[in-house]
Amino acid sequence: MSNQPLPSPTQDFSAWYNDIVYRADLCDQSPVRGCIIIKPYGYEIWEGIKGALDMRFKATGHVNAYFPLFIPMSYLQREAQHVEGFSPELAIVTIGGGETLAEPLVVRPTSETIIGESFAKWIQSYRDLPLLMNQWANVVRWEMRTRPFLRTAEFLWQEGHTAHATHDEAEEETLQMLDVYADVAVNVAAIPVIKGLKAESEKFAGALRTYSIEAMMGDKKALQSGTSHNLGQNFAKAFNIQYLDRSNQLQHCWTTSWGLSTRMVGAVIMAHGDEKGLRLPPKLAPHQVVIVPIYKTDDEKSGVMAAVESIKKQLVSGNIRVWVDRREDLSPGFKYNDWEMRGVPVRLEVGPKDVANNVVMAARRDMGKEGKRSLPQENLAASVSALLDEIQANLLAQATAFRDANIFDVKTYDELKQVVEAGGFARGWYAGDSSDDKRIKNDTQATHRCFPLEQPGGGGECLLTGKQAEKLALFAKAY
RNA sequence: CGGGGCGUAGCGAAGCUUGGUAUCGCGUUCGGUUUGGGACCGAGAGGUCGUGGGUUCAAAUCCCGCCGCCCCGACCA
C-alpha cells in the first residue's frame, strides 16, 4: 500500500511492471537471487489458472501424478540435444547427508527424462496406450536475468507427458493441448493468443516440433505463454519406451510434453494493467467484487453494515467472490485507489444514501469514473454477474483490438526493421533458416516467434531471402 | 560474463565533494478529530549507515579489499 502513483506504463513499462507486482501484493522479494515469494493474492491468481487448466486436462482424459524433484545427471545426458539445451541452466546437488553423492542429482528443469524412465516400465503393449499424464510441480532453471513471474530461477507449472502408438496420435495430442492453452488464455485470462509452430531455432531441446501460444503485452512485446511439444521418438529411443503392437512387433512410442507456468500471471499483468494498476479478468480475480462501506456516525455504520451484509450474502449465493473492506481509519477514497491497484473488477460503494434508496454505487475497473452507476439492491447478484461478464468480454476486446492494431504485414527486411523499431509484431512471408533467424535477432533484437497455424494459403516472396516462401512468420521482440 | 548504477529505519530517499556522533517523506504505535475519490493534529517507537580492514583525536563521509542487489546486453518458459 502506498499513496504514490505508479510509473507510467507508456513511458517506462519495465518500472511500471516492477512496481505493480509489489504494490498489488502479488509477490515479495526473496533472499535468494532470482526467486520470488508468491504472496496469497498472487497465488490465488495462479490457482485460478491452475483450476481452469486442471479441469480441462481431466476432461481430455489426463490424470495427475508426481515425479521426483531430483533427477540423476545421467538421465539428462541420455538425450543429446536435451542435455545440451539445458546444461547451462542446471542446479546440481552433489552432497547429500554430508556425503559426496556417487552421482550428482539435477534439480529438475523439466521432467521428460525421469518420466520417460517410468513410462518405459509402465508401457508394454499397445493396450497401455495412450498414456496421458500430467504433473503440477516446481522446476528450477538458473537464468542469467530474472523478472518476477516472467522469468524466475524457480517457477511453478504443470507439465503434461503422454505416450502414443503413432506419430499422428502424438501430433493430435500436441495440438489438442495447444488448443486447451489457447482456450484458457482467451476465455479465462482474456488474453488473445496466436497459436503457432516454433521455428527450428526456437524449438524445445529434444523435440520434433514445438508449438506455442504467443501473446502481445502492453508494450507490444511478445510473451510465449504456453508450449506444446511433439517429441517424436527422441525420448522413446533414449529411454526405451517401447510397446508390442497388434502384430507382436516391438515399436518405439511417440511422446509429447506440454507446459504452462506462473509466467501466465505476468501475462495477465502486462496484457491488462493500466496506469492505475492491475486489471484482473473476473474469471481469475481472487475478489470479483469488493464492497466499500461508507459512514460517519455509529448510527450510519450500523445501517450501512447491515445492508453490506445482506448484499454480500446475496452475491455469495450467486457464486460471486466478494470481499468486504472493513478496514477502519482509511478513507473511502484511499480504498478506491487501493482496490484499483489490485485490479478488482467491480467495486460496490454502500453509504447512507444508498441504504435509504435501496441501491449501491457500482464502479467498473475497466472503465474510469464515468463508468460508475447506481444499481438497485434487488436482484443484485444477477446484475453484478452480468457486469462481470461484460468486464470479462471488454478486457478481451480491448486486448484483441490493441494486438490487432499492432500486427503489421511486412514485405521487406527494411519494413520488418521499421515495425520492430516502432513496436509491434511483424508478419511476412518467410523462408529463412536458423542462421537467418539469428541474423534478424542480431540486427533487430526481434526473434522469430512462430509460423502462425492460421495461414492464408498460397505463398509469397521471402522478406529476407527473396526465395519462394510458403508460410507467413511472426517476428517481435519478446520476453 | 561485458557495460552502467546502487547499498543509510519496514519502504523510498538526503547527507559523502569540504570528516565532528544521522535527516526527511511514506508506513507503523498511542490519543483525538475525521470518512461519498489517496484525511488532519499532537505524542512516540524504530538505524551495527552492506561487510572487513586502513588513515585520523574523530569516518555514513577519505583509501583498499570483499559481498550483495538493480538496470542495459549475451542466454532462456
pLDDT of residue A309: 96
A63 located within any domain: yes
Pairing of strands A447-452, A460-461: unpaired
Query: What is the band of A3 on the pLDDT scale with cuts at 50, 70, 90?
Result: low
Same domain, A23 and A136: yes
Nearest nt by C1' to A202 Cα:
B76
**Distance, angstroms, CA A33 to C1' B58?**
39
What percent of chain A is predicted at pLDDT more than 90?
82
Same domain, A228 and A364: no
Give pLDDT tens digits for A395-430: 999 999 999 999 999 999 999 999 998 889 999 999
Same domain, A41 and A99: yes
**A64: Cβ–Cβ under 8 A, 6 or more apart, which residues?**
A54, A57, A133, A134, A135, A136
**Distance, angstroms, CA A329 to C1' B29?**
14
Q: Please tell me the distance from the alpha carbon of residue A197 to that of residue A174, in angstroms, as a whole number.
A: 11
Structural domains of chain A, count:
3
A394 located within any domain: no
A277 located within any domain: no
- Please report the ipTM that was assigned to this predicted complex: 0.86
What percent of chain A is predicted at pLDDT more than 70?
99
Structural domain containing residue A138: 13-272
Same domain, A344 and A247: no
Q: Is the pLDDT of residue A77 over 60?
A: yes
Nearest nt by C1' to A296 Cα:
B35
Same domain, A118 and A212: yes
Same domain, A112 and A194: yes
A399 located within any domain: no
* A8, three cell numbers: 507510467
Same domain, A380 and A431: no
Q: What is the CATH number of the domain that holds A299?
A: 3.40.50.800
Same domain, A383 and A417: no
Residue tagged 496466436 (cell numbers): A194
Same domain, A197 and A148: yes
Helices (H) and strands (E) in chain A, counts: 14, 25
Give pLDDT tens digits for A101-148: 999 999 999 999 999 999 999 999 999 999 999 999 999 998 888 889
Closest CA to A219 of A405, A418, A404, A13: A13
Same domain, A317 and A433: no
Boundary (domain end) residue, out of A353, A387, A421: A387
Closest CA to A380 of A346, A342, A351: A346
Q: Please tell me the distance from the alpha carbon of residue A460 to that of residue A475, in angstroms, as a whole number.
A: 17
Beta bridge partners of A386: none
Same domain, A365 and A251: no
Boundary (domain end) residue, out of A246, A272, A298: A272
Query: What is the band of A1 on the pLDDT scale with cuts at 50, 70, 90?
Result: very low
Asked if residues A259 and A226 have their Cβ atoms less than 8 Å apart, the reply is yes
Same domain, A70 and A160: yes
Q: What is the CATH number of the domain that holds A418?
A: 3.30.110.30
**Distance, angstroms, CA A140 to C1' B56?**
50
Three-point CA angle A460, A463, A469, nearest 5°:
35
Which bases on strand B have an atom closer than 7 Å to a protein beta carbon?
A: 1, 26-27, 33-39, 68-77
